[in-house]
Amino acid sequence: MDEPRTTPLHRWHLGQGANMARFGRYDMPLWYPAGARAEHLAVIEAAGIFDTSHMAVIGLQGDGARDLLQRCFTKDLDRCQGRDRGPLTVGRCVYGVFLAADGTVIDDAIVYRLAETAWMVVVNAGMGPAVAGHLERQGGARVRVTDYSDRLGKMDIQGPLAARILARVLHDPGPVLADMVYFSCKGGFDELQTPTPVRLSDGTPLLLSRTGYTGEFGFELFVAGDRIVSLWQTVLAAGEGLGILPCGLAARDSLRTGAVLPLSHQDIGPWRFVNNPWLFALPWGDGGKVFSKDFIGAEALRQDPGNEHTLPFAGFDPRKITVGKDTFVTDLRGDTIGQVLTCATDMAIDRIGAMIVSVATPPAEGRPVDYRPRGLSCGFIKVNRLLAAGDSVLITDGRRQIKVEIRNDIRPHRSARRPITSML
Amino acid sequence: MKELSELDFPETVRYTEDHEWAAVDGEIVRIGVSDYAQDQLGDIVYVEMPEIGDIFEKGDEFGTLESVKAVSEIYMPVGGEVVAVNEALVDTPEMINQDPYGAWIVEIRVTDVGEYDELMSAEDYIEMLRG
């Protein structure tokens, strides 16, 4: 077995008694002693921090960068921002996908416009060389592609208290945070700079974005590799007494699943990017029927999408099945109709009558006093027919059969988009 | 994850290779999972238990523990008839994490007490975990 890669926080994770596991080539924390359930709930009710230094960051510099991205990335950078669909401005970012010519997914990504001709692409762990290589091969004059994988430190802080905690560690936090709308970025360090500097109280420069992978309010923080351990400890100390917890990959997975966010190479991957809950990643023109630009993979997506559908589901109790080659989806008669892509337990939700209720649901909308949800299994299936929200199917691993319901959405009352003014 | 030295392995019960513990009291045996098992599994969120009256042989699967990470089957350390299940685990499955030797899962009337004597002592179980 080859030596696993580690992030600069690896020693810290071990020192905390984290339960470690391999994720791709990295040895990462699954959970810390508080446990995955407490970590999941902390992100929804207070704040959690995640070591995400294993993610890959690619920089694109030059006049040719925009055209290269327009060719390779699904979002139309000229028509993707705001209600009136304007161009991506400096200090804003957008989620989309990199497709191959056959319409299959290379990786999903967030593209940041750092400056007029400076862009940053954040992709999944281990995908730096593949995506940077893809961009370089697509060529383009006047663009320099740099793979920063394993050179940066990155951490996510997610949860309703994220801004209040960050304010405690930032230099001059007021102006920095006041106007950070959802999917915006500020700050920078080394070669990755936006026009607005952001520093910690100790002077460390950082790049800050209002993004994340939990569906909850929060930020991603990028720093030079030799500053991440100090940043992590500073943020953790600042959140002490407010309920902050370090969170591992188990909580990260259960949070993102409840938020209906895909995991690359599991929920999206080497099949055409059609008939799934994430088609907002495509560049729809006015009318929502045709693409507003051409891009690699567009032609393949314009063909008949076929009958394979990726759909979110939620169960009726915490029971789930372990996804593997023997896991199937059947209809209620027992006929196999597809496979399970993701199955996790969202600890923050439970069913009350016909509704799924979260710990974050306001009492006026149905959350009982002293609500203690058991959790619900949830995830994504890929089946050979279109099913409607409310339809039931069975997911099975051959020994156990669990009835689940197709959903449009899973965990309600998520905080990701809350106006920042209400979170300070 | 805890080191072996940080986990509890009381000598008053016996253990299986699958990390169950068994405690005998006359012809009744109480069954649960070890501190090592709960530490490995992580937060337990659901327990599937058998019905009173169910009869199992040694080694049969008699229930499952649902944790954040996965579903784990639990196996009978000895054969017999289920005479009690721990109803408290329905509402508070996390008791198994908090108190693995107090949070028993089932009680059975053993068919053959000899099967209990065949189980591992704490010392043998710790040896097995080390190896």
* A414 pLDDT above the threshold of 90: yes
Q: What burial letters (b/e) apply to B70-109, b meaning 16+ CB within 10 Å?
A: ebbebbbbbbbebeebbeebeeebbbbbeebbebbbbbbe
pLDDT tens digits for A90-119? 999 999 999 999 999 999 999 999 999 999
Per-residue pLDDT at A389 exceeds 90? yes
The structural domains of chain B, with segments of one domain joined by +, span 4-130
How far off is chain A from B111, nearest CA to CA, in Å?
A: 27
Which residue of A30, A343, A345, A401 to mutate against B (max B Cβ within 10 Å)?
Answer: A345
pTM confidence score = 0.94
Q: Is A37 on the interface with B (CB under 8 A)?
A: yes
Furthest-apart CA pair in chain B: how many Å?
A: 39
Neighbouring CB atoms inside 10 A of A363's CB total 9
- Say if B4 is an interface residue toward chain A (CB within 8 Å): no
Mean pLDDT along residues A6-18: 97
Which one of B36, B44, B45 makes the best mutation probe of the A interface by having the most chain A beta carbons within 10 Å?
Answer: B45
CATH architecture, range B4-130: Beta Barrel (2.40)
Q: Shortest Cα distance from A144 to chain B (angstroms)? A: 42
Q: Are B65 and B32 in contact (CB under 8 A)?
A: no
Q: How many CB atoms lie within 10 A of CB A307?
A: 10
DSSP annotation of A229 reads H
Query: Which residue type sits at A319?
Result: R
Q: Is the pLDDT of residue A2 over 80?
A: no
Chain A contact probe: residue of B4, B7, B43, B44 with most A CBs at under 10 A: B43
In angstroms, rounded to a whole number, what is the distance separating the alpha carbons of residues A140 and A19?
A: 45
Which residues on B lie below 8 Å from A20 (Cβ)? 1
A317 closest CB neighbour out of B2, B46, B70 = B46
pLDDT tens-digit series, residues A113-131: 999 999 999 999 999 999 9
For residue B69, the model assigns a pLDDT of 77
* pLDDT tens sequence across A320-347: 998 988 899 999 999 999 999 999 999 9
Nearest CA among A315, A248, A352 for reference residue A40? A248
The first and second tokens of residue A50, run together, are: 């995640």
For chain B, which ranges sit under pLDDT 70? Answer: none
Sign of the alpha-carbon dihedral angle for A308, A310, A313, A319: positive
Q: CB distance A37–B94 less than 8 Å?
A: yes
Nearest Cα to A394, choosing from A402, A405, A385, A386? A402
Question: What letters, b where the CB count within 10 A reaches 16 and e where it falls short, cover A33-56?
Answer: ebbbbbbbbbbbbbbbbbbbbbbb
Q: Do A374 and B64 touch (CB under 8 A)?
A: no
Domains, chain A: 1-306 (3.30.1360.120), 307-413 (2.40.30.110)
Nearest chain B Cα to A13, which residue?
B1
| Nearest CB to B1 within list A19, A250, A374 | A19
CA A349 to chain centroid, in Å, comes to 19
Question: What is the band of A1 on the pLDDT scale with cuts at 50, 70, 90?
Answer: low
Residues of A in contact with B94 (CB under 8 A): 37
Residue A286 has pLDDT above 90, yes or no: no
Distance from CA of A362 to the nearest CA of B (A): 23
B90: nearest CA in chain A?
Answer: A374
Q: Contact A296/A138 with Cβ under 8 angstroms?
A: yes
